Amino acid sequence: MMKNPFCVRGRTIVVTGGGRGIGRAVALHLAGQGARVFICGRSVVPLRETCEMARGDGLHMDHFTVDVADTDDIERAFHDLHAQDIRIDALVNNAGMEELRPAIDADEALWDRIVDTNLRGAFFCALHVARGMQAGGAIVNLCSLASAVGIPGAVPYGASKSGLLGVTRGLATEWGPKGIRVNAVGPGYFRTEMTEPFFHDEKWRETMMARIPLGRFGEPAELGGIVQFLCSDAAAYVNGQILYVDGGFLAAI
């Protein structure tokens, strides 16, 4: 029987920011496809809740804590995994944060908080994972529409996500010869805890809905299959790319 190239069964996949929102949905999807999933984040409570959800569905999932804005903590967390002889086959860099504020009112603390989490954290997570990753490994970075277009009130966020796309392409060219693929996913508008402030604005909802050809916002679970594809052998020749999952938003501009 021909092997299913989309299969991730038996692969060890780490999902950062896996306790909430998109990270939780992606982690549950990958676990449902038979992957050995480790989720991580700063707060242990949502991580435990996600693992309990997985167990409720008869799936296995582990968790560990890490603050991706702290490079020392990243080193500690992934050293612990390596010390347990856990070989990571794929990393999903999902941990991120956003805070809306007019650029004229932005300060250094806001910039550091967002950029350290979304950009620097993703880079150093990838770095520590890649050191022990074998050929055939995959890294998937969660970028954003802000990697392609400007969003008023979200300049530090846009800078971090544009930078993450640059990191994706740079690492793809540097690590491709080692057999490690690095790609990105650019979600459109998905309702999560982080994006909830947008959805409180009725005028914003109506404006965005009118610009999405599919006529609806995305559901976090709809990103699971895309991430699975990029982690699987079906994407064996996909490297340095970003797949926008936005209902056609960018195509319609």
Distance CA 240, CA 226 (A): 15
Distance CA 180, CA 140 (A): 11
Residues 6+ apart with CB under 8 A from 177: none
Distance CA 170, CA 28 (A): 29
Instruction: Name the DSSP class of 119.
Output: I
Residues 6+ apart with CB under 8 A from 200: none
Q: How many residues does the chain have?
A: 253
Distance CA 247, CA 93 (A): 22
Instruction: Name the DSSP class of 242.
Output: E
Q: Is residue 189 flagged as an active site residue?
A: no
SS3 content of the chain, % helix, strand, coil (to 5): 50, 15, 35
For the chain, what is the radius of gyration of the CA atoms?
17
Distance CA 162, CA 242 (A): 11
- Per annotation, catalytic residue among 157, 189, 237, 244: 157
The residues carrying an active-site annotation are 157
